[in-house]
Amino acid sequence: MASQVPTARGGPRLYGRTAECARLDELLGALQSGLSGALVVRGEAGSGKTALLDYAAASSDGCRVERATGVESEMELPFATLHQLCLPLLDRIEGLPAPQADALKTAFGLSAGRRPDSFLVGLAVLTLLSDAADSTPLICVVDDAQWLDHSSAVVLAFVARRLEAESVLLVFAEREEAALEELDGLPELNLGRLSPTDSRELLASVSRGPLDEGVVDRIIDEAHGNPLALLELSRGTASANLAGGFAVPETGPIASRIEASFRRRAAELPEDTQRLLLVGAADPLGDPTLLWRAAETLGIPVEAAAPAEESDLLEVGARVTFRHPLLRSAIYGAAPPPERREAHRALAEATDPERDPDRRAWHRAHATLAQNEEVASELERSADRARARGGLAAAAAFLQRAAELTPDPHLRVTRALDAARRKRLAGLAEAAQVLLATAEQGPLDDLDRALVVRLRAQIAWDESPGGQAPLLLLQAARQLEPLDINLARDTYLEALFAASNAGRLGGGVIQPARAARAGPAALGVPDTSDLLLNGLAVLFTEGHAAAAPLLKQALALARDEQGRDEHALRAIRIASRVAAEVLDDVAWSDLATRHVRVAREDGILSTLPVTLNYLASLRIYEGDLEAAAMLLDESDSISWSTAGAPADVTRLMLAAYRGDEAETLGRRRSLEAVAAATGEGLLLTVCEYESAILYNGLGQYEAALGLAAAAVSRDDLSVSVWALPELIEAAVRSGRNDVAAAGFEALAERTIATGTDFARGLEARSRGLVSEGAVAEASYREGIEVLGGTSMRMFLARAQLLYGEWLRRENRRVEAREQLRPAHEFFDRIGAEGFSARAGRELAATGLTVRKRVDETRRDLTPQEAQIARLAGDGYTNPEIGAQLFLSPRTVEWHLRKVFAKLDISSRRQLREVLPGSVHAA
């Protein structure tokens, strides 16, 4: 496909790919300069993707090159392609930080351990590649990426998105018609078809003699600019026809015709050679030792390889490689099923059951036609191993095949349901639905039926957090009650949480709350989830006064919770929202901080963005908008790295407190669209509450009043209670004292039940607003004193602002300044522009000249640079910072060099001096 005419970087010339080669040259140049990069080369089968990967490898003077290829038959084996890529680098695994080394060893089956999160494995691979590139730039090429196993795809996509300054280039090649979702959003290079001129030149470059012009024109017309089609069509046309033009045109898709050409060429080889090719096509390892052992089992002599090598179809060296991936699929697809089973049987016998039991089980499964419990049990054991290694999709695939081979109908249903559950956890909802349909065809007992309903409800919840999910979960919980009390209570909690998220767009929380209260009590000593269920069910049916003791008990247990499994972390996530509902800032801080810490330590990047958003909300209330912005930037970065959707909820509140009306309205419209699409009515309440903050800050009280009233009326969990102080403030300033009084009564009911210092401070501040004279003054002073003892500095400053405004209206200007000045300085320092301007206007009304703070040089740092600088200033090492922020140590060092240059410093010791202010460890 390529001649030997050198290009600018010394690689082979690729006809019609000058611009594409130039793009790779740019990346290779940046690589030599110490920067990293990633690229996805997309095109139809035969468009030259592999040739471009070869070009990158051939142009990589002074670089190390590692290669891997996705194989269709290996898509169910966990971390198969990743292991193939990293195998030459595993001698460096002991040099990784211990959690990363353990995760990678577990993922690759090198040791037993707790199931690692895919993204912790990703961080380990990122560090491994970075270490390997320490002395020599590293190029990793992954061909046929459309056939990556799910675990490898997630990890490699994560690594590609986190590369910055490691001297690592990661290049994927995948078919455009089967592109992986995991690679969406990465830099891409789309291969079009060759022009007629380039097609003619390519044909001429491989021709051994003169070509008939008419035949050349026909080949060019039929190949449609596909390079491999040009070569294979010319190979498949007899020399006499090339000279005379008598070949019969073919029709059909290009890939099919190329495969047909490969099949014709293979069919011309001796029978033993064809059988050897089939064994090679059935074995994705490319291990020549395994190939020869399997061939010996089938009675195929070693000499059978020679005709295939002479025909340029197969090469047996350090690895068994085919001329093109389409050749492998053509040979395997054309073989009759009995011959494929025979090849897999031989490979299973040749595979070491101790060293590679999973691949042996998979070959046995492909070699088995009838149901076979021995093979099914072996597959189930492989599923257990895959699950322990973090390969949820692989575990599901093993279980799915195990179910198909299970003779006992009841056990077949159990395995199918387990496979469906694993598919759902791996994010493969459609495949899970198919398995559920399969399970429903078997004999179902009552528990099976309930589990089917529950899983369908959970899939519905994943796909649309509102919608029908709460009712389906409620139905499942009721069916589970007489069968599995613990599972029933877990499902009731899910139903309540889903209903609270659905809010105004759902059926409400009353029905699931009543059902939960009428359901069975917890077995044994209640855990955090049990207490949360009890408290929330009472909250939604009887109100805060009745629920407060139960919710406090749940929070106390949650703060002592040491579990790190999915069940325990879900309880902590729900408890964080309960803490916000009962205005317990201390519990909220403990829970959110610990959840982030555990997510970091265990590498649970699938939930870390959510926990970072919880913590960022708390930082805003604490008055550290810069720390909140850093957490949100990190959340967005991880969401992008993990192909998730960045959350705008907390960014909306940040924009509101910054007084940025345009950004607030833009994010509000975006969230309202999300709510309409997903059925998450809670998002609408969030938009109303946070927009009310904006307008109270800007002094547009009528607008704030309408929004806060709408948010309060919904009584949505962990949101509406926070809108009550906004409602009271806006109502008083709008002259709606009746609304303010009713709002205060509702707030007091909650704060009295809660009894936290923060709740008492909010109540006192709000009482000042709805009171007059001495009562108002005493209330303001109490609120300021109590809030001053909490971490919620934003509310302290707002209380000072309100008291200062009251004093100024009482014509006590000097005393007003004593409250307004610190409030103004605080708002100005943190960048709360709306409240700063409001405090400034009040100060000006007292006769005091207000000067605006000038931003310091440190604002020139990017959010990521500022976060790294803070952690370095706290004494963290580069590997420790990298582990916290999911970056390689070399990227951390690269950012620190830029920080030092921007701040004109030369050491970490100076960071604390030039970056003053609070530092929150997350």
List, run by run, the mean pLDDT of 10-residue segments along the chain (922 residues): 42 79 92 93 89 88 90 79 92 89 88 78 92 92 90 90 92 88 90 87 73 72 78 57 40 64 86 93 84 94 92 85 78 90 95 90 92 94 84 84 93 92 82 89 90 91 82 94 95 94 93 96 93 97 95 94 79 93 95 85 72 92 91 81 70 96 95 91 96 97 98 94 98 97 96 95 97 96 97 97 96 95 95 95 89 55 82 86 83 88 84 62 48
Contact 10, 61 (CB under 8 A): yes
Per-position b or e across 163-176, b if 16+ CB within 10 A of its CB:
bbbbbbbbbbbbbb
- Tell me, what's the pLDDT at 324? 74
- Tell me, what's the pLDDT at 239? 40
The SS3 call for residue 278 is helix
- According to DSSP, residue 228 is labeled H
- Tell me, what's the pLDDT at 2? 39
Tokens of 285: 């390892």
Nearest partner of 36 among 100, 126, 124, 101, judged by Cα: 126
Listed in sequence order, the residues at least 6 apart from 715 whose beta carbon sits closer than 8 Å to its beta carbon are none
Phi-psi region at 390: left, alpha or beta (left = phi > 0; alpha = psi -120 to 50): left
The length of the chain in residues reads 922
Nearest partner of 740 among 797, 783, 778, 696, judged by Cα: 696
Strand order in the sheet with 37-43: 64-69, 138-143, 168-175, 37-43, 188-190
Q: How far apart are the first and last CA of the chain?
A: 53
**CA dist., res. 703 & res. 706, Å (int):** 5
Contact 412, 403 (CB under 8 A): yes
Contact 290, 348 (CB under 8 A): no
Place of tokens 């889903």: 498
**CA dist., res. 547 & res. 807, Å (int):** 38
**What H or E segment, with its residue span, contains residue 314?**
strand 314-316
Residue 99: CB atoms within 10 Å: 17
- Tell me, what's the pLDDT at 235? 65
Tokens of 436: 């559920």
Distances from the Cα of 424 to the Cαs of 393, 397, 716, in angstroms? 9, 12, 28
